[in-house]
Structure 1
């Protein structure tokens, strides 16, 4: 235990935890990376758990800093826009960027986790302990208790960093000690995953787009995978007549999809089996305060601020947390007691900003993307971007294709809308005056 006291403990070897271990080892720290699961490199993913994610500029920026971006992007599938699938008629494409050249990237979640885990394992000073489930934490001494296949063990550390997801055991321990408060706002929606397999050895849909089936109060999306399949995710209400609870029998499932998603059954032969056997996941926003205690225990990523997935920014935001913590350690000369509070001050407003934008984007994706008004607004927005390059930039581009802080994005977009609104009002006034003058002259 004496040697352990010199380690930085990272609890949770998911995406954020593995990336954080790499950054800390690069700084010369001894790192202990604890994970409750067995080694994910030696097993198959759980059924119904997302196998891909959308990686954009914030996540790529973090990967570049440890030299992994090129490796990860080798298997990436760039998605340059949304493909909207109506109930009737042909799908329509909506570009994400004004140039049409920028893309978010569909990445295998498991492959990315494994790449980060391998990178961490190769670094000097990193040790990884799988099948270690945190069941106790003394925040005053940073002493942890784990359940393992061999029994209960204890371990100490200089600092404990919780990167163990929305259901964080580290956050749970801090709550039990009365050191943090939390709120969890669940949506009245859940999610279930389906699969579209390759068709004739190729993609059944255009792999260069994120596919959306907007249906007003519900929707489905599909992202391409490197094996030429698509992972579909249903986002439906959890209760009511058009919800997960309302469909039971195979016949009812087939009728519902034939009516509301008619282009799916012909390309999803396992639709009924997937629907009946894949679990329904919950969707919610986690907030807590503070994110750290006495410069000794802290939370990062979803453990501190889980968000709903509708902006594709969960992993990107968590990666940005790691970059910011690294920056704070630089500015504080490695003093954790100063760096951790600074990290929270720098990131908390940004986490709240993306949480709100993600909730708003859910409404946009399920209700608005198919409407003529929305399409017109996007055309106007792209026209403004072409007319005012660098001065007018859409919210989507700022979030997905830049590292402008999320809170700053929200402020900038509000200012842009105000300017555009004033300009539109001024133009309307000029046009109105011209029309009135013309009428008077004719009169």
Structure 2
């Protein structure tokens, strides 16, 4: 029997996009959101107002034919601009000349997707907080007393999902959450007096400082949203620099070129919240035609810029599986969770690994040489050696496959970088020898 009524919890980016996919398949789709309509009320306070859109996300948008409308809100970032504590900035391209990730404001993006979904006939119910779900009966209990039944319930309601909370009360449901020891605080670099960008807008700016870092992404209004990532506690932490004067002095010492551009530093540092970062893993994602998707099933830290892109890819994959299995929800949902769970685990791990890379390694001279060597391998052997970042960000290769291949490449590069003369001779390394070693490792691990 084909179920016709679908309820989606959460009108964020993932839920709104998924509603368009499902509505176009002829289903009756309703979306329930606990917050107010973001088109009428500013909801960005305390949340990152920048997202990094890359190839996986674009693929989902192109599939729906709405990519061109999204592009009007995007700013391409072609690489990282590294700001050392002492010395000149240096630019590290993400990939080839035509490869970029795109900074897009969360609020504008979400508003566009909601409006597009409404135009398709999706019904949105804002200020509708779902407090309980009877999974056996698929009945949703709302804070205002409403009880609604649905043929299918999909939880895209984020890291603190009501649907996942209900699933946690069922038998044989695995769940793990982990707050990392670092949090974040947002600050702003406004446009200059002449109305221009204060920094290069076509780069993601990073001030790497070991256990902490500052990043900045461009906005359409010529400002930058800065995010300070730092441990909550310790010698250098939010706990030790919580006072305005101490915080200002800290920035003057460690981020001198940034503090001069953050014109409202004292107020923002004091008033803007310090927020936590969480990883969530769970399984199964499906019970009685109730499905978890996006952050509800695999919340990750933001350091690979793949949270939204991964969620969009969830929507794309689910859409294809529904077609493949002739809209049999039970079969399609089972195929979906089995396919996406390994990929979700892989990208969550990659995001944590990239945190270390961004804060500790990007300013390290030996690391920079390694990346140049990998770029050279990619240039001369584009089919055999694809850098991990390129596989994750600029391809649709499964995250799990990219992670496995990246592990092999890392083993080889660690060995190469042990050469005491590597700093002087990296551009004369025998590239073919490296490629042969990769083939041998792939053969041993059956990654062919």
Task: Tell me if TM exceeds 0.5.
Answer: yes
1:291-310 equivalent positions in 2, closer than 5 A: 291-294=285-288, 296-310=289-303
Cα offset, 1:91, TM superposition: 1.1
Mapped contact 1:179–1:293 kept (Cα < 8 A): no
Match of 1:73 among 71, 74, 82: 71
Q: Which runs of 5+ in 1 are unaligned?
A: 431-443
Secondary structure of residue in 2 paired with 1:379: helix
Question: Is 1:111 matched up with 2:108?
Answer: yes
Mapped contact 2:73–2:108 kept (Cα < 8 A): no
* Structure-1 residue corresponding to 2:141: 145
Match of 1:207 among 180, 187, 201: 201
Match of 1:413 among 402, 406, 409: 406
Stretch of structure 1 that moved more, 384-393 or 106-115: 384-393
Cα offset, 1:100, TM superposition: 2.9
Q: What CA distance in whole angstroms lies between the structure 2 residues aligned with 1:267 and 1:131?
A: 38
Q: What CA distance in whole angstroms lies between the structure 2 residues aligned with 1:87 and 1:127?
A: 51
TM-score with structure 1 length normalisation? 0.91
Secondary structure of residue in 2 paired with 1:310: coil
Match of 2:344 among 351, 361, 366: 351
Q: What CA distance in whole angstroms lies between the structure 2 residues aligned with 1:336 and 1:304?
A: 18
Cα offset, 1:156, TM superposition: 0.8
Mapped contact 2:49–2:225 kept (Cα < 8 A): yes
1:137-286 equivalent positions in 2, closer than 5 A: 137-147=133-143, 151-178=144-171, 180-200=173-193, 201-286=195-280
Cα offset, 1:406, TM superposition: 0.3
Q: What CA distance in whole angstroms lies between the structure 2 residues aligned with 1:353 and 1:198?
A: 38
* Structure-1 residue corresponding to 2:423: none
Mapped contact 2:173–2:284 kept (Cα < 8 A): yes
Secondary structure of residue in 2 paired with 1:273: helix
Q: What CA distance in whole angstroms lies between the structure 1 residues aligned with 2:301 and 2:294?
A: 13
> Given the superposition, is the C-alpha separation of residues 10 and 179 from structure 1 closer, same or farther in structure 2, using an over 3 Å criterion?
farther
Mapped contact 1:48–1:194 kept (Cα < 8 A): no
Mapped contact 2:44–2:107 kept (Cα < 8 A): no
Question: Is 1:136 matched up with 2:132?
Answer: yes
Q: Which runs of 5+ in 2 are unaligned?
A: 420-428, 434-448
Mapped contact 1:84–1:211 kept (Cα < 8 A): yes
Mapped contact 2:73–2:109 kept (Cα < 8 A): no
Match of 1:363 among 329, 352, 356: 356
Q: What CA distance in whole angstroms lies between the structure 1 residues aligned with 2:410 and 2:360?
A: 21
Mapped contact 1:54–1:312 kept (Cα < 8 A): yes
Q: Considering only aligned residues, what root-mean-square deviation do their CA atoms show, in Å?
A: 1.8
Question: Is 1:289 matched up with 2:283?
Answer: yes
* Structure-1 residue corresponding to 2:314: 321
Secondary structure of residue in 1 paired with 2:145: strand
Q: What CA distance in whole angstroms lies between the structure 1 residues aligned with 2:416 and 2:364?
A: 24
Q: What CA distance in whole angstroms lies between the structure 1 residues aligned with 2:286 and 2:108?
A: 30
> Given the superposition, is the C-alpha separation of residues 46 and 410 from structure 1 closer, same or farther in structure 2, using an over 3 Å criterion?
closer
Aligned length: 419
Q: What CA distance in whole angstroms lies between the structure 1 residues aligned with 2:65 and 2:406?
A: 33
Any idea what the Cα deviations from partners look like across 1:61-117, whole Å, max 9, x if unmatched? Answer: 0001111111111221100000001112221111111x3331000001111111110
1:395-406 equivalent positions in 2, closer than 5 A: 395-406=388-399
* Structure-2 residue corresponding to 1:102: 99
* Structure-2 residue corresponding to 1:38: 36
* Structure-2 residue corresponding to 1:47: 45
Secondary structure of residue in 2 paired with 1:246: coil
Secondary structure of residue in 1 paired with 2:91: strand
Mapped contact 2:74–2:104 kept (Cα < 8 A): yes
Q: What CA distance in whole angstroms lies between the structure 1 residues aligned with 2:112 and 2:125?
A: 17
> Given the superposition, is the C-alpha separation of residues 246 and 208 from structure 1 closer, same or farther in structure 2, using an over 3 Å criterion?
same
Question: Is 1:122 matched up with 2:115?
Answer: no
TM-score with structure 2 length normalisation? 0.90
Name the larger-Rg structure: 1
